[in-house]
Structure 1
Amino acid sequence: MPSPQDIIVVGAGIIGASIAWHLTRKGASVTVIAAKAGGEATPSSFAWINASWGNPEFYFHFRRRSMAEWSRLATDLPGLPLSWCGGLCWDLPEAELEAYAARQRGWGYGIKRIDRETSAALEPNLANPPAFALHVAEEGAVEPVAAANLLLEDAARHGATLSYGTAVKRLLRENGRITGVETTGGVLLSDHVVLAAGAGTAALAASVGTDVPIETPPGLIVHSRPSLRLLNGLVMAPELHMRQTMEGRVIAGSDFGGTDPGEKPQEAADELFAKVKATLRGGDKLELDFYTIGYRPTPKDGFPIIGGVDGAPGLYLAVLHSGVTLAPLVGSVAAAEIVGGDPDPQLAPFRLSRFAPTSE
């Protein structure tokens, strides 16, 4: 029986946690290296699980498959803080909402047009329910840091090593192959290195001459103190996206990814939170606890970068903005590719090689 592959996963956010968990389930010897459990971008995520928002059909179906993977993961990992609470949306003009709904329905999404009465029944604490909105009952949310920690703790029970408080300085290469990492605590060798380090991915890949074209736009999210239940599901109103966490915090951004807070983030947070309070009956009792500014690792064409790297065998990349929606599917397919060695055709649109310059 062959010895298990030694695999280093750099990053302990929701993507790194999912990949590490799936790798341990396939018998790999896994070491996770990160500054802290939960990562950097994951704590600032709105954590909406969906296949919405203007995606082309191939990406819609990839996201839809990952929604189903969340249900599978919840079966395998009891206690996963996952809720299929549904999403209510009216943040586009009516004609655009109608066109969007028609397309998504044509692809099989369970999207319904609803009126003011139904909106009010779904979300009775809206101060001004919309006369026209869309509702998708199959959308949901997860508490992302708690989910990442649950995955990592279970991976550790199955033999993974969790190395927190450690920074990776660079990747190591020998005879053309990536052989490990140099960290602030020394050198660690492996058969494969997985970069799931979010905004830090580009700099680490550059240490072995690999260009990963990502942007890291900031996104402001406000977090209330825990309160009585004011929201039943996800609410996407014009310039205000909200949900209530399992511990009772109302979290909100100007959109689901948050927007740039500018030079005065506290003022931007106060203004955004005032809008939250005005939108909800009983919102006057909400208190702002804190705000986060997340830097979302977004490949320049908007689609994930997943897979091995031509010219750097032993290196595997997993960098994407829709990390919460895609985490369980990416973890599953990445682990299968790394351990099995066979490329997965469904990942073909997401390879780094698509950014390679083409000759005229």
Structure 2
Amino acid sequence: MAAAKQVIVIGAGIIGASIAWHLTKAGAQVTVIADSAPGGVATPNSFAWINASWGNPEPYFRLRIRAMAEWKRLANDLPGLPLAWCGGLNWDLPADRLEAYAAEHSSWGYGIERVDREQVARIEPNLVEFPGFALHVAEEGVAEPVATAKALLADAERQGARVLSSTVTALVQTDGRIAGVDTSHGLLAADEVVIAAGVGSPDIAATAGISLPIETPPGLIVHSRPYKKLLNGLVHADKLHMRQTSEGRIIAGSDFAGGDPGDDPEATARDLFAVVKAALRGAEGLELDFHTIGYRPNPIDGFPIIGRAEGMDGVYVAVLHSGITLAPAVGLFATREILDGERDPLLAPYGLSRFAQ
């Protein structure tokens, strides 16, 4: 029997956790290295919306739809994940663009329902104002991000993975390939290294001469103290995106990716929270607990970077925004490619080589 492949996964956010879990389940010997707590840095600041919604060209839509299905498979494999298919309500576009989006995505098979004011009131009765026209997608959902990452890592550890708290200072090269990592606690060897460290990924990749072209825009999201149930699902109103967590917190941003923190993030957070309270009936006792400012790893063309770096064996890259939606599919596809050399056709547009000059 061939020896199990030794794989180091750098990053303990939702992407690193999913890749580590899938690799471990498939029989690899996995070591996760992170200099942050389980859940990583970007993951705790995520709105955590699982969707294949607007603004997506069809190839990316197909990847996201597959990822939504993989969430259901993952939930069956790992019962108890904090996952809810609560539905999403959207009117954060002009009516003509909403109609165009609905027509396009419906033709692709997305379960969009056009709803009027009365239907919106039935879906989200605690809104102060009901739009005359909105779109509802019952199949959209949320996964509480940190709890999900922790559950994946804990189950990977149960199956034999190691999770180390350390800082990766460099990728180690031997004979033209990556053979491990140098860390704050010494050298670690591996057959393959996976870079899934979010905004920290470019600096790590650069130690081996690999360029990862990403941007890291900030996004502010407010979090209330736990409160009685006011929202049934995701709400995407004009400049206000909000949902209620499983523990009763309302989390909201001026956009699902978080809004501009401005020069005074505290004031921005207070102003945004005032808008949240004004938008909900029964929110008189709702209190702001804290705000987060997330820095999300966005490849410069807006699409994921998933795959091996050309010209450098032994290193696999998984850096992307929309990590919550894509996590289970990325974990599955990366595992197949790393262990069996099988690249899923849905990943074809998303290799690093597309940025080559």
**Shorter-chain-normalised TM-score: which range?**
over 0.9
Structure 2 match to 1:9? 9
Residue of structure 2 in register with 1:269 after alignment: 269
Q: Which residue of 1 aligns with 2:304?
A: 304
Q: Bigger shift: 192-201 or 90-99?
A: 90-99
- The answer to whether residue 107 in structure 2 is matched with residue 111 in structure 1 is no
Aligned counterparts, 1:313-324, within 5 A: 313-324=313-324
Any conservation in 1 of the 2:115–2:135 contact (CA below 8 Å)?
yes
Distance between the aligned counterparts of 1:195 and 1:283, measured in 2? 43
* Residues 280-328 of structure 1, C-alpha deviations (whole Å, 9 max, x = no match): 0012211000000000100000000000011110000000001000000
What is the alpha-carbon distance in structure 2 between the residues aligned to residue 182 and residue 53 of structure 1? Answer: 41
Partner of 1:52: 53
Partner of 1:216: 216
1:195 counterpart = 2:195: yes
The one-letter amino acid of 1:169's match is T
Q: How does 1:84-233 map to 2 (within 5 A)?
A: 84-164=85-165, 166-233=166-233
The 2-side partners of 1:21 and 1:237 are apart by 36
Distance 1:313 1:62 in 2: 26
Match of 2:284, SS?
A: helix
What is the DSSP-based 3-state SS (H/G/I as helix, E as strand, rest coil) of the residue aligned with 1:283?
A: coil
- After superposition, residues 226-245 of structure 1 pair within 5 angstroms as 226-245=226-245
Q: After TM superposition, where is structure 1 displaced by more than 6 Å over at least 4 residues in a row?
A: none
Which residue number in structure 2 is paired with residue 284 of structure 1?
284
Identity of aligned residues (%): 65
Q: Deviations over 1:199-240 (max 9, x none)?
A: 000010001101000000000000000000000000000000
Distance 1:208 1:182 in 2: 12
Partner of 1:22: 22
Q: Which amino acid aligns with 2:107?
A: G
| Aligned residues: CA RMSD | 0.6
Q: CA deviation at 1:345?
A: 2.5
Q: What TM-score, normalized to structure 2? A: 0.99
Q: Is structure 2 residue 342 aligned with structure 1 residue 333?
A: no
Give the residue type in structure 2 aligned to 1:64.
I
1:92-151 per-position Cα deviation (integer Å, ceiling 9, x unaligned): 111111111000100000001101111010001000011110000000001010000000
Can you list the C-alpha shifts for 1:161-194, whole angstroms capped at 9, x where unaligned?
0112x11111110111001111111111100000
Q: Distance in 2 between matches of 1:332 and 1:70?
A: 11
- Asked if 1 retains the 8 angstrom alpha-carbon contact of 2:243 and 2:252, the reply is yes
In the alignment, the residues of structure 1 paired with residue 127 and residue 259 of structure 2 have an alpha-carbon distance, to the nearest angstrom, of 23
Structure 1 residue 346 displacement after superposition: 2.2
For residues 333 and 32 of structure 1, what CA distance do their matches in structure 2 show?
A: 18
Q: Hey, what's the Cα distance between the residues in 2 that align with 1:200 and 1:284?
A: 40
Q: Distance in 1 between matches of 2:31 and 2:130?
A: 49
Q: 1:262 deviation in Å? A: 1.6
Does structure 1 conserve the Cα–Cα contact (< 8 Å) formed by 2:62 and 2:346?
A: no
Task: Give the whole-Å Cα distance in 2 for the aligned partners of 1:322 and 1:269.
Answer: 23
Q: What secondary structure, in the 3-state scheme, does the structure 2 residue paired with 1:343 have?
A: coil
For the residue of structure 1 that corresponds to 2:203, the secondary structure is helix
User: CA offsets, 1:339-360, max 9 Å, x none?
Assistant: 1123332211000000001xxx
- 2:8/2:194 contact within 8 Å kept: yes
Give aligned pairs, total: 356
Equivalent position amino acid for 1:328 in 2: P
Amino acid in the other structure paired with 1:326 = L
Secondary structure of 1:241's counterpart equals strand
Question: Which whole-Å deviations, capped at 9, do the CAs of 1:61-110 have from their partners, x for residues lacking one?
Answer: 11000000000100000100000000000111111111110001000000
Is the Cα–Cα contact under 8 Å of residues 59 and 346 in structure 2 kept in the other structure? no
In the alignment, structure 1 segments of 5+ residues that lack a partner are: none
Aligned to 1:32: 32
In structure 2, C-alpha distance between the alignment counterparts of 1:263 and 1:195, rounded to whole Å: 33
Alpha carbons 2:333, 2:343 under 8 Å: kept: no
AA paired with 2:304? P
TM-score (ref. length: structure 1): 0.98
